[in-house]
Chain A
Amino acid sequence: MNPTLEQLFMKVQKPGRYTGGELNSVVKEKGAVGIRFAFCFPDIYEVGMSHLGMKLLYGLFNAQPDVWCERVFAPDVDMEALMRENGVKLFGLESRDPIDTFDFVGFTLQYELSFTAILNMLDLAGIPLRSADRGDGCPLVIAGGPCACNPEPIADFIDLFTLGEGEEVNLELFELYRRHKATGFHREDFLREAAQIEGVYVPSLYEVQYHEDGTVASVTPKDGAPEKVRKRIILDMDAAYYPDRFVVPFIDIVHDRAMSEIFRGCIRGCRFCQAGFIYRPVREKSAETINAQSHALCENTGYEEFSLSSLSTSDYTELEKLLPMLLDWAEKEQTNISLPSLRVDGFSEELAAKLNVLRRSGLTFAPEAGTQRLRDAINKNLSEPEILDTAKKAFSAGWTAVKLYFMMGLPTETLEDVAGIAELAQKIVNCYYYNPNKPKGKGVNVSVSVSCFVPKPFTPFQWEPQDTIEELEEKQRHLRVSVTTKKVSLHWHDAQVSFLEGVFARGDRRLCAVMEEAFRRGCKRDSWSEHFSLQTWLDVFRDLGLDPAFYANRRRDFSEVLPWDHLDYGVTKAFLAAENRRAHESQTTPNCRQSCSGCGAARWKGGVCTNARN
């Protein structure tokens, strides 16, 4: 007996991950649509369904009458085993049709460690892994999202990448596809023409040559593909599409609430932060637009909680205007507004209390580095007095817990900087005990989370060597002995995982073979610690004659051709190099609202680059 999907659902944990049928999921008449799109998130349902970008494009694509976009997530271990055992191919949640019959299979690239999950999903779908092996009858396999800024490690598996924001470029791809489908679709012709659309990168149209030492010698376009592929951005955020409804899941997901995007980009320019560079320039939505969109979302979903989404919400210029507008209806309708760690001192206490700012998120800071010198080097504009001041205020209001986020392995970091993490945490503990109004009989808990710094493309640190696993572990030990109180609890990320992330982040095309072989040897859930095996990866690298340290731990020369140099995110290489030099001199750079540093993003003539400064 070959069990139907329904029977499989009864045998797995949380069938709600696979059943579809949630409120606001879109079901269309198969015969009435011309383009079927499988929106694939290479992680499980609970993670993928929390992702705002997916909700946005799902809504936008389905707003096109002849397009039907469905959701696809990576099945968990139990479901995957049952699917393979019973010959069930990866299917769209809405129609339950196998996705190898769709026109487009699109992946969102949110983190490097999901790359092998993509291979696994293609394999489960019965789609050939390599673009070169796909015929005209295969879906077009496309990908976009932040990791598309260095897509080389998966270039052999993806037919085309979209760079930057997806709203316009995908619709242009659909338009081209309609034309080709009407006259007989040929993959190569389509890809060649698609490469002419701004923001579309067709890797098979670029030939990469290497020097003897393994560095890239040249990347040469062919068939008229552009020398440089420039990312796309949306300039007018008020006119941009925003969904008025989200799919409301039945099962509990990571972020189960309505979310409104309030701006894109970030003015700050923290030198370690890729998002701070690839999304430039900052473009805001007006308070009126956000208010209207937020209210519609809550009405159409019934969500009891709602949040504002951006890279740095306290930098939104109209926050003081927006919050009372939101509170006006949210209070009446018993909807909670949750805000990420805001700088609480900017608000009146009354407003802060209403928002439950603290209740929801607790008090969190991200100093990122333990000393002012290193914070200057990474351009993280948060001073010790600021942190201590806010902590004092929170303690006198009755709070007893603080969370601090740091990074380890930052360029120029010394053991002194590492010890500085412990010192800062200790000063916060002291603040608590000096506070005369501290709650009686209660201690304070300062939780310190330390991640390992991974140098990323399109940041000033793209040339820097990543600390080796040994160096990171040595620093972790140093931090452990520097902490002398039980009031401070330490948590850190696994240095092994960060190492692999670092390899992929700045990898080149030769990693495609590594990726495929590692997948064949069982690596397909690298972002889940219980499935992660560095040893398997090291074995594959050794067997294929490549050195992972070449990618992760090597200092690049400013003159080196980087594997992503033919992609253009607006920010110039000259600017990034200048920022790198300033980092080594512990020189800060003003944010975009204080003054323009000429990063290159002004070429779009929009957003913060053209706003008046005072």
Chain B
Amino acid sequence: MREIRIRFRKTGRARYISHLDLTRAMTRAVRRAGLPIWYTEGFNKHPYLTFAAPLSLGFEGLAESMDLRLLEDVPEDEIVRRLNAVLPEGLAAVSAAEPVHKAGELETARYRLTFTGELSQMAAFLAQDAILVEKRTKKGGMKPVDLKPSLAGAVYTPSQDGEGIMEVTLPCGSNETINPALIAAAYNAFVKECTGVEQAADCRVLRTGLFCGENLPFC
């Protein structure tokens, strides 16, 4: 049995696929591709698939990660080719290879956030000493977190057509994760407080990479 890590893109219309639905879509894709995949044993047999760091509904990703187990050897480029022949619009396999890192070694993710709307307060927003937001905890409660440490390394570039692009690395591991939607929410809250404008900006999220530590690509 061979463990294989597929890296794939989830873009365009596919970004509305929730994580639960993605598992089902990938299961069926693997079946259509006719890959000799390992099924879990037991009453309710299903192909074994695991994903690193589920992507929220609405976000796009360029280097998502899914592990599966093959019962026979299939050349890696053929895995990619067979999957791409049967994947729906917006999902595309990029590579297939034996995993190097364990899922638990994943620590951060890099995002490109594209802001649209009223962006004139961005510099002031980022210059704050602390950027406190409420974050949902696993137990269902809320707790405050400071986004400032994560945003310290963020690079923000206003573009010509009135959009603003932010490149930012956020914790994305088993100990701590920060959902990039919190940044947009914090910015909107900030603008509302300064100017009274509600829902000033919209933000599209693209996850560009997964890393162990700050810079070692997860693979």
Contacts and interface: CB of A to CB of B under 8 A. Distances in A.
Interface size class of B (residues with CB under 8 A): 20 to 34
B117 A19 contact: no
Contact of A334 (B28, B39, B88): B39
Interface string A555-597: 0000000000000000000000000000000000000000000
A19 B16 CA distance: 7
Interface string A2-15: 00000101100001
A252 B23 CA distance: 12
A302 interface: yes
A299 interface: yes
A231 B72 CA distance: 54
Given A19-B16, A21-B12, A250 B90 contact: no
A20 B25 CA distance: 14
A304 B13 contact: no
Given A16-B18, A21-B13, A21-B14, A302 B202 contact: no
Contacts, number: 63
Given A15-B57, A250-B25, A251-B21, A22 B88 contact: yes
Given A10-B58, A252-B21, A334-B39, A19 B28 contact: no
A16 B39 CA distance: 27
A23 interface: yes
Interface string B131-146: 0000000000000000
Contacts of B101: none
Interface string B33-55: 00000010000011000000000
- Main SS at interface, chain A: loop
Interface residues of A, number: 23
B154 interface: no
B32 interface: yes
B31 interface: yes
A209 B58 CA distance: 56
Interface string A241-279: 000000010111000000000000000000000000000
A1 interface: yes
A101 interface: no
A303 interface: yes
A68 to B, nearest CB: 16
A21 B88 contact: yes
B86 interface: yes
Nearest to A22: B88
B203 to A, nearest CB: 10
A21 B89 contact: yes
A381 interface: no
A426 interface: no
Interface string A128-158: 0000000000000000000000000000000
9 contacts: A1-B117, A7-B202, A15-B58, A16-B17, A19-B13, A21-B90, A250-B16, A250-B18, A302-B28
- 3 smallest CB-CB distances across A and B, nearest first, come from A21-B13, A302-B28, A302-B32
Interface of A: 1, 7, 9-10, 15-16, 19-23, 248, 250-252, 299-304, 333-334
